[in-house]
A and B are shown apart, each in its own frame.
Chain A
Amino acid sequence: MPQDHLVTAKELSRDDIEAILDRAVEIADDPSAFRERHADTLLALCFFEPSTRTKMSFDAAAKRLGGETVDMGSVESSSVKKGESLADTMRVVEGYADAIVLRHPSEGSAKMASEFVDVPLINAGDGAGHHPSQTLLDLFTIRESAGLDDLTIGIMGDLKYGRTVHSLSTALTNFDARQHFISPESLRLPRSVRYDLHEAGAQVREHTDLEAILPELDVLYVTRIQRERFPDENEYRKVAGEYQIDAETLDDAKADLSIMHPLPRVDEIAPDIDETTHANYFEQAHNGVPVRMALLDRLL
């Protein structure tokens, strides 16, 4: 991390990632040891798009570190409604807080915002772009269940618009990971992400169905296929069913296959998986707090 922002996963080196994950373990063990240092720090939560979980997770992380948060509130009630630019909002908020967490519907918004402020800025999702703090908790979860080296991971669902996927696949190029992408043809990884993976020399394969590759996987990362991405309801129904899994689907999987999902899920993971040892998505969500504490500890 060359500067004090976290905009995309591309700026995270292997050393950065390992340092943050190690710190997250320490913090989870003894949060009180870090509280002194962060008492009186103030984190601004600027969510231009609704996201209860990510926002709560940052809020909890800041408060567990002994700090406070200020919340922009909903877009409807803010000056954005009056037509203020994001650049101006960021320059105002910079004066209020020690760091900014930004979620915004436009791709590149966090990159632009980071150019206008001197306090650390964390991208908590920019449109279909990136979501690097999610990636850190994903990596934490993967490391706990399967390790980050000699890893075979399947990433399935909406790979085109799935910002968590874009950040995760980019970060995984730092490790010895074989990445298998499973999606309908129309929701393949965007050209820009494939370009980065190719540049990084990643071991990547693309598939349209899960079946053939499932037995090799240590981790299966599932994302939601969004109905609104399809102009035609029939097109949606045709593909969506193909990317739903249940306990029976996993008959051919490794016994210790870990199933992950950035949540919320709709129907892509059947509830009968919840009770199996494969289910790791709630654990993954819980990891958000210590990992974000570690990230704040590093940036603040």
Chain B
Amino acid sequence: MSDTELRVSKIRNGTVIDHVTGGQALNVLTILDIDGSAGEQVSVGMNVPSGRLGRKDVVKVEDRELSQSEVDVLSLIAPEATINIIRDYEVVEKLRVERPDVVTGILACPNTNCITSGSEPVESRFEVLPDGVRCEYCGTIVREQIAEHIESQ
């Protein structure tokens, strides 16, 4: 058993999100709307050594299997992430994040004068560009620090 695995114990059933960009684990949880309030057990390993990424984060969520569409939005902050679905301690499915064309209701537009920033009954919607995201309402482009714009739940 490697050091990494020791630090974050194995789970019986659920999802392991591995190879998350170092420091992004908590943003991953926010994007997936996981805060433990539904009773799920969540373990987070941050900045663990990784051959591929140097430092990576690992998130394990017990008793919840994430869908492909749920994990796709992770590509915005953790493009290298791999997702393992675990049943009875065994990996039964491996998912890779794919960049979606559009993300809805996840990011807040940084333009405070954007119609989505007010109290209108409208969800934020961003087109995913090769190197950033773009608000479909006001056109504002965000390229850096996308995680800072994740909507607080």
Given A107-B139, A191-B141, A192-B141: A86 and B134 within 8 A (CB)? no
Q: Is the CB of A87 within 8 A of B120?
A: yes
In angstroms, Cα B141 to Cα A137, docked, is 29
Q: Is the CB of B119 within 8 A of A108?
A: no
- Within 8 Å of chain A (Cβ to Cβ): is B111? yes
In angstroms, Cα B140 to Cα A165, docked, is 16
Q: For the side of the interface on B, what is the size category?
A: 10 to 19
- A107 in complex: contacting residue of B119, B121, B138, CB < 8 Å: B138
Q: Is the CB of B134 within 8 A of A111?
A: no
- Within 8 Å of chain A (Cβ to Cβ): is B137? yes
Interface residues of B in 103-153 (CB under 8 A from A): 111, 113-122, 134-141
Q: Which residues of B contact A191 (CB under 8 A)?
A: 140-141
- Within 8 Å of chain B (Cβ to Cβ): is A128? yes
In angstroms, Cα B135 to Cα A129, docked, is 12
Given A107-B139, A112-B137: A87 and B121 within 8 A (CB)? yes
Q: Is the CB of A85 within 8 A of B113?
A: no
Q: Is the CB of B134 within 8 A of A108?
A: no
Considering only CB atoms, which chain A residue lies closest to B134 in the complex?
A192
- Within 8 Å of chain B (Cβ to Cβ): is A241? no
Given A127-B113, A128-B113, A192-B134: A106 and B118 within 8 A (CB)? yes
Q: Min CB distance, A277 to chain B, in Å?
A: 37
- Within 8 Å of chain B (Cβ to Cβ): is A215? no
In angstroms, Cα B115 to Cα A107, docked, is 6
Q: Is the CB of A111 within 8 A of B136?
A: yes
Given A87-B120, A112-B122: A106 and B140 within 8 A (CB)? no
In angstroms, Cα B62 to Cα A104, docked, is 47
Q: Which residues of A contact B134 (CB under 8 A)?
A: 192, 195
- Within 8 Å of chain B (Cβ to Cβ): is A109? yes
Interface size on A, residues (CB 8 A): 22
Interface residues of A in 98-136 (CB under 8 A from B): 104-109, 111-112, 115, 126-129
- A86 in complex: contacting residue of B120, B135, B140, CB < 8 Å: B120
Interface residues of A in 196-245 (CB under 8 A from B): 196
In angstroms, Cα B138 to Cα A129, docked, is 7
Considering only CB atoms, which chain B residue lies closest to A108 in the complex?
B137
Query: Helix, strand, loop or mixed for chain B's interface?
Result: loop
Q: Is the CB of A85 within 8 A of B120?
A: yes
In angstroms, Cα B116 to Cα A109, docked, is 8
Q: Is the CB of B115 within 8 A of A109?
A: yes
In angstroms, Cα B92 to Cα A9, docked, is 50
Q: Which residues of B contact A105 (CB under 8 A)?
A: 113
Q: Which residues of B contact A104 (CB under 8 A)?
A: 115
Considering only CB atoms, which chain A residue lies closest to B111 in the complex?
A107
Q: Is the CB of B139 within 8 A of A129?
A: yes
- B114 in complex: contacting residue of A108, A190, A195, CB < 8 Å: A108
Given A107-B115, A112-B115: A85 and B138 within 8 A (CB)? no
Given A129-B139, A192-B139: A106 and B113 within 8 A (CB)? yes
In angstroms, Cα B116 to Cα A272, docked, is 45
In angstroms, Cα B122 to Cα A106, docked, is 13
Given A106-B115, A107-B111, A127-B113: A112 and B141 within 8 A (CB)? no
Considering only CB atoms, which chain B residue lies closest to A10 in the complex?
B139
Q: Which residues of A contact B139 (CB under 8 A)?
A: 107-108, 129, 190, 192-193, 196
Q: Is the CB of B141 within 8 A of A108?
A: no
Given A86-B115, A127-B113, A128-B113: A108 and B138 within 8 A (CB)? yes
Q: Is the CB of B140 within 8 A of A192?
A: yes
Q: Which residues of A contact B121 (CB under 8 A)?
A: 85, 87
Q: Which residues of B contact A127 (CB under 8 A)?
A: 113, 138
Q: List 9 A-B contacts (CB under 8 A).
A: A85-B119, A86-B115, A87-B121, A108-B136, A127-B113, A127-B138, A129-B139, A190-B139, A193-B139
* Across the A-B interface, the 4 shortest Cβ-Cβ residue pairs: A108-B137, A107-B138, A192-B139, A108-B115
In the complex, besides A106-B138, A107-B113, 18 extra interface pairs with C-beta distance below 8 angstroms are A85-B119, A85-B121, A104-B115, A105-B113, A106-B113, A106-B118, A107-B111, A107-B138, A108-B116, A109-B115, A111-B115, A112-B116, A128-B113, A129-B138, A191-B141, A192-B140, A193-B139, A195-B134
